[in-house]
Amino acid sequence: MEYLVIGSGVAGISGAAAIRQRDSGGRITILTEEAYPFYSRIRLPDFLAGRVSQEALQLKKESWYREQRIDLRLEQQVAALDVAAGSVRTLAGASFPFDRLLLATGGVSFVPPVAGAGKEGVFTLRTLGDAIRIRAHAATAKRVVVIGGGVLGLEAGNGLRLAGCQVTVIEFFDRLLPRQTDPVGSALLKARLEGMGFAFVLPARVEQILGEERVSGLRLADGRELACDLVIIAAGVRANLGLAREAGLAVDRGVLVDDRMCTSHPQIFAAGDLVQHRDTTYGIWPAAQEQGEVAGANLAGDDLRFTGMVPSNLLKVAGIDLFAMGDIDGEGRREQAAIVNLDEERAVYWKLVLDERERLIGAILFGDLSHRRRLVAAIDEVRAVSPGLRAALQEGHLERL
Ligand SMILES: Cc1cc2nc3c(=O)[nH]c(=O)nc-3n(C[C@H](O)[C@H](O)[C@H](O)COP(=O)(O)OP(=O)(O)OC[C@H]3O[C@@H](n4cnc5c(N)ncnc54)[C@H](O)[C@@H]3O)c2cc1C
């Protein structure tokens, strides 16, 4: 059996490992357009900060690929997928046949249509290659603007702040982390980040990136101008759909897959940031890993299911504890039923979001994560909150969960 995997991120690698567990004789080839073997994207902000080396980002040793008999081919950008012929062609003209294919081409950074976004010194952060280029540019840059106050924007900005840059974050919404916090959590977060040296402009929309060849600043829609010499655009991620769409696979916001991670073609499975499963595109590491495992197992003849997961996010900025999971009710639609606790003195805040049947469906924790595990378990099982438990929680006893 000839297995081909496109993409060596967490979905592709966990898929390949799951295939090998079940098929010791099949040939497994992984193609990636990147020049580096599987590494931690999650730690790229630490790399920007100079706190982790390029080597330490690598997640598998060379010996692992050898032992697993996985043929990893770097710098092989797949340009076309021929479903009928069962082969792919790379940009350099090489052809790779397959009996079974795992598509794991991940996501690409979304760049909004802002004039000047192609100037030197304007970056997105998705790959180790991006991070290496940003670091090289940051060596001669002091003033950084991050467009986008989501998790990625704040973590990337923090990396460059730790590397000695002044960082200003511009956010389109009127609060930071609009998908992970509500207004109270966001205000606490902003105050804490300002205390660390961050500056914020929000709500604001960037109209133009200024400069000759190299970025020198940007203009906002209200006419204000900010000088800067490095811009990071962190405006979201989109599924990297090109190959799948051109090959005629069913796509929407992502490649459509069933619970077995099978696409509209029975020999082609897909996993990770690329896919849309039960109308959800996750964009997080644990989902990509689990989907990859399920896809790989099924490609090798098993019958596993991915039935979805409650997404969660942890902000990884040292000195700030912020965790969000499930429905955080950022707009206050479920305010009546929520259980909220705010200790302004300690800057500790948490909110538990309940559905109409008094079941726990989401939460925000800020400033104290000591009960995070309990909370994750309770949300995962959509635990019902009895009147007695509600009373205890309202008095601040999160440990009673
Ligand atoms: C800076 C940063 C921080 C993050 N922090 C977190 C976090 O804290 N927690 C969390 O849960 N998630 C985080 N994420 C998201 C997480 O990294 C992704 O959800 C995860 O990497 C998705 O894995 P994937 O395998 O689907 O795709 P990717 O990791 O994007 O891998 C895609 C692979 O496909 C290859 N590829 C694409 N197109 C082609 C082609 N045409 N030919 C050949 N190869 C191709 C690429 O080279 C790459 O190897 C972060 C992401 C970034 C960028």
Question: Peptide bond before 183: cis, by omega within 30 degrees of 0?
Answer: no
Ligand 1 geometric centre to CA of 274 (Å): 9
Closest C-alpha residue for ligand 1 atom 6: 42
Q: Kindly list the distances between the CA atom of residue 36 and the CA atoms of 54, 60, 108, in Å, as whole numbers in the listed order.
A: 10, 11, 17
pLDDT at 95: 98
Which domains are present in the chain? 2-107+238-299 (3.50.50.60), 122-233 (3.50.50.60), 319-400 (3.30.390.30)
- For 50, phi then psi, to 5°, come to 80, 15
Ligand 1 geometric centre to CA of 307 (Å): 21
Residue 377 pLDDT class (50, 70, 90 cuts): very high
pTM score, whole prediction = 0.96
Task: Tell how far CA 113 is from the center of its chain.
Answer: 21
Q: Is 147 in the pocket of ligand 1 (CB under 6 A)?
A: no
Q: Is 11 in the pocket of ligand 1 (CB under 6 A)?
A: yes
The Cα–Cα gap between 285 and 384 comes to 28
DSSP annotation string for 164-194:
T-EEEEE-SSSSSSTTT--HHHHHHHHHHHH
Residue 48 pLDDT class (50, 70, 90 cuts): very high
Question: Which residue, chain included where needed, has tokens 């590397």?
Answer: 163
Q: Is 150 in the pocket of ligand 1 (CB under 6 A)?
A: no
The rounded percent of the chain whose pLDDT value lies above 90 is 96
pLDDT digit string (tens) for 50-69?
A: 999 999 999 999 999 999 99
Closest C-alpha residue for ligand 1 atom 53: 126
The arithmetic mean of pLDDT across residues 292-318, rounded, is: 96
- Average pLDDT of the chain, as a whole number: 96
Give the residues across from 364 on adjacent strands. Answer: 324, 351
- pLDDT over 90 (residue 331): no
The Cα–Cα gap between 382 and 400 comes to 16
By DSSP bridging, strand 206-211 and strand 268-270 are: unpaired
pLDDT digit string (tens) for 332-367?
A: 888 888 999 999 899 999 999 999 999 999 999 999
Question: Which residue, chain included where needed, has tokens 């496109």?
Answer: 6
Ligand 1 geometric centre to CA of 206 (Å): 26
Residue 290 pLDDT class (50, 70, 90 cuts): very high
Ligand 1 geometric centre to CA of 9 (Å): 5
Residue 217 pLDDT class (50, 70, 90 cuts): very high
Residue 133 pLDDT class (50, 70, 90 cuts): very high
Q: Relative to the CA of 283, which ligand 1 atom is closest? A: 19
Is the separation of the CB atoms in 8 and 119 below 8 Å? no
- Which run of H or E residues covers position 72? strand 70-73
pLDDT at 318: 87
Q: Relative to the CA of 106, which ligand 1 atom is closest? A: 27
- pLDDT over 90 (residue 313): yes
pLDDT at 332: 85
Residues 6+ apart with CB under 8 A from 177: 149, 150, 151, 154, 185, 186, 189, 315, 322, 324
The Cα–Cα gap between 312 and 375 comes to 11
Ligand 1 geometric centre to CA of 145 (Å): 23
Q: Is 31 in the pocket of ligand 1 (CB under 6 A)?
A: yes
What are the b/e assignments for 379-396, b being 16+ CB within 10 Å?
beeebebeeebeebbeee
